[in-house]
Amino acid sequence: MATKGRWKTALTYGDKQSVVIRGYSLGELVGKVSFAEAFLLLARGELPPPGHAKTLEAMLVSVLDHGIVPSSIVTRYLASSGTPIQAAVAGGILAFGDIYGGACQQLAERLVHHRPLIDSGKQSLEEAAQEIVRHFSLRKERVPGYGHALHPEGDPRVPKLYSIADANGVTGSYSKLAFAVQDELGRAKKRPLPMNQDGALAALGLDMGLNWQIVRALAFVPRSAGLAVHAVEEMTREDGWRHVPDDEVDYDGPPLRPLGRG
Ligand SMILES: CC(C)(COP(=O)(O)OP(=O)(O)OC[C@H]1O[C@@H](n2cnc3c(N)ncnc32)[C@H](O)[C@@H]1OP(=O)(O)O)[C@@H](O)C(=O)NCCC(=O)NCCS
């Protein structure tokens, strides 16, 4: 529980001379470490092995942009209405929910729940995967991190990320469990539902030692950079404010009727 009064942080401090992150001077880090390394240092407390930073760098690039999708649509609507750029970006980021863009968090939470049970021999990999699928099915929810509306045959970013993660020694027990969930889901639904980008962010983020509560940031941090560019393109290239054309809206409420008052 947070204590009242003095603030406490193990992350960083700044004084008149410097800014210090996890014990390293920011002045020394700048120009010597990548953004991915610095983020892992901040989030985990130590500089990561080079393979982790390289894989995270690839993950950040893979989420930078994805075309005209819910987040960029919201950002562009806001930008076209004349909001400041940061409001347009923030609005797009708020579209990252449990179904679109933010599913990695729910999967990560389940993977973290089952990993100790597997490690202690209380559950086999297959039993854990079955329980994860059952957990969501019982709630009538889709298993987060699998399937994709645009890429039903498989999200092309996932094999690419895993080829980098495998080559850099990142792929570990969380990914193993996430692929076991993919197999189990395919069996349960009687058709393949391959892991999507959110699933890969969850499993690889955990394999890197990140906390499950932060994996969603692996999606919205790089995407906020992409959304900023969408906002500027909307502001500088498009005319006026966006709205849904009347002929694309079907009204099925009551027909026009008199109020019937004097
Ligand atoms: C991404 C998503 C919304 C695409 O949905 P979609 O376009 O309707 O998916 P499809 O048309 O390919 O498949 C629909 C069928 O597969 C099932 N299905 C798809 N993804 C599923 C999942 N992750 N878990 C369980 N069932 C799933 C649907 O229930 C439906 O089955 P039904 O016909 O028996 O009702 C969906 O796969 C999903 O909700 N995934 C989980 C959330 C997620 O990972 N979001 C991040 C996306 S990047």
Q: Which atom of ligand 1 is nearest to the CA of 104?
A: 44
- Ligand 1 centroid from CA 145, angstroms: 9
- Ligand 1 centroid from CA 171, angstroms: 25
- Ligand 1 centroid from CA 159, angstroms: 19
Whether the CB of 130 sits within 6 Å of ligand 1 = no
Q: Are residues 43 and 109 in the same domain?
A: no
Predicted confidence at residue 3, as pLDDT, reads 63
Q: Is residue 18 one of the residues assigned to a domain?
A: yes
Q: Is residue 86 one of the residues assigned to a domain?
A: no
Q: Which atom of ligand 1 is nearest to the CA of 155?
A: 48
Residue length of the chain:
262
- Ligand 1 centroid from CA 147, angstroms: 5
Its sign, for the CA torsion 111, 115, 117, 122, is positive
CA distances from 87 to 47, 219, 244 (A): 33, 18, 21
Whether the CB of 146 sits within 6 Å of ligand 1 = yes
Q: Are residues 34 and 120 in the same domain?
A: no
Decide which of 27, 48, 69 is a domain's last residue. 48
Answer yes or no: are the C-beta atoms of 128 and 114 closer than 8 Å.
yes
Decide which of 213, 237, 254 is a domain's last residue. 213
pLDDT tens-place values along the chain, 262 residues long: 666 789 999 999 999 989 999 999 999 999 999 999 999 999 999 999 999 999 999 999 999 999 999 999 999 999 999 999 999 999 999 999 888 888 899 999 999 999 999 999 999 999 999 999 999 999 999 999 999 888 888 999 999 999 999 999 999 999 999 999 999 999 999 999 999 999 999 999 999 999 999 999 999 999 999 999 999 999 999 988 999 999 999 999 999 999 999 8
Q: Are residues 43 and 140 in the same domain?
A: no
Reduced to 3 states, what is the DSSP secondary structure of residue 221? helix
Q: Are residues 130 and 31 in the same domain?
A: no
Report the CATH number that the domain containing residue 186 is assigned in CATH. 1.10.230.10
Q: Is residue 2 one of the residues assigned to a domain?
A: no
Q: Is residue 75 one of the residues assigned to a domain?
A: no
Q: Are residues 140 and 204 in the same domain?
A: yes
Q: Please name the amino acid found at residue 207.
A: D
Q: Is residue 254 one of the residues assigned to a domain?
A: no
- Ligand 1 centroid from CA 49, angstroms: 35
At 226, list the tokens: 């992409």
Predicted confidence at residue 150, as pLDDT, reads 83
Q: Is residue 174 one of the residues assigned to a domain?
A: yes
Count: domains in the chain: 2
**What is the distance between the alpha carbons of residues 182 and 133, in angstroms, rounded to a whole number?**
9
Which residues are CB-contacts of 187 (< 8 A; sequence separation ≥ 6)?
A: none
Best mutation site among 59, 189, 191, 220 for ligand 1 pocket (most ligand atoms within 8 Å of CB): 189
> Rounded to the nearest 10 degrees, how much is the dihedral formed by the CA atoms of 202, 207, 208, 210?
50
Structural domain range at position 189: 104-213
Q: Is residue 240 one of the residues assigned to a domain?
A: no
Give, using CA atoms, the residue closest to atom 13 of ligand 1: 147
Q: Is residue 147 one of the residues assigned to a domain?
A: yes
